[in-house]
Amino acid sequence: MHAAVVVFPGSNCDRDLAVAFEAAGAKVSMVWHKDTELPSGVDIVGVPGGFSYGDYLRCGAIAANSPICREVAAHAERGGYVMGICNGFQVLTETGLLPGALLRNAGLKYICKTVGLKVATSDSDFTSGYNAGAVIDIPIAHHDGNYYADSDTITELLAEDRVAFTYEDNPNGAQADIAGILSANRRVLGMMPHPERRADPVHGGTDGVALFRALAGALVTA
């Protein structure tokens, strides 16, 4: 698996994501927001957490218009894999690669804690390492994690089994307890919780590891 990790001004989980990919056996290339190409042979693009461009305008809105995001969108349109975590999920909704939006948390506070997350589907190359219905512990750290989409979109996501993760105890007001969703072709994942922060025993738990290992198993570079 060859993974590219995008770095924006204000990204703060880019190294963590690269380390989690590498631990699963990936080759990792860091790409800068001003780059106009992805390295050749990239299987998956990781859009990391943080505060891209200081979270001015809406979270992820400026990043979505960066030069590299045009390439990320083209990669997804070719059927390539993309994974957006936290600010990365916000970027993917702003680019239109995933439906809906991340609104301010219902309690208007930044929340930083480990939460119980239900694996809503194991039918994706991101979630196949978990049993559907399993509850895993993964940290969240956001002020805009309140997933919103219109009711037709929520109905479609549920009907197509495209909700990847739901919160056990909804911390932010997200509709239908949604913590992560998949694209129609199941190759783009956006999730607010941070699996890369639960990927080594020194993190206090390793529930995120199965996600990176499943990807590495699915995306074996020839």
Binding residues for ligand GLN, rule: CB under 6 A, are 49-51, 55, 59, 86-87, 141-145
- Active-site residue among 71, 75, 86, 142? 86
Q: Is 86 a catalytic residue?
A: yes
Shortest distance, CB of residue 113 to ligand GLN, whole angstroms? Answer: 12
- Which residue type occupies 155? T
Shortest distance, CB of residue 3 to ligand GLN, whole angstroms? Answer: 18
Query: Is residue 27 within 8 Å of residue 2, measured between CB atoms?
Result: yes
Nearer to ligand GLN, 52 or 127 (CB): 52
Shortest distance, CB of residue 222 to ligand GLN, whole angstroms? Answer: 33
Nearer to ligand GLN, 141 or 163 (CB): 141
Q: Is 194 a catalytic residue?
A: yes
Q: How many CB atoms lie within 10 A of CB 40?
A: 7
Give, in degrees to the nearest 5, the angle at Cα 45 between 43 and 46. Answer: 135
CA distance 180 to 120: 9
Kind of pairing between the strands at 111-119 and 163-167: antiparallel
CA distance 16 to 214: 18
Assign 204 to helix, strand or coil. coil
- Active-site residue among 33, 75, 142, 194? 194
Shortest distance, CB of residue 145 to ligand GLN, whole angstroms? Answer: 6
Nearer to ligand GLN, 87 or 124 (CB): 87
- Active-site residue among 33, 94, 143, 196? 196
Which residues are marked as active site?
86, 194, 196
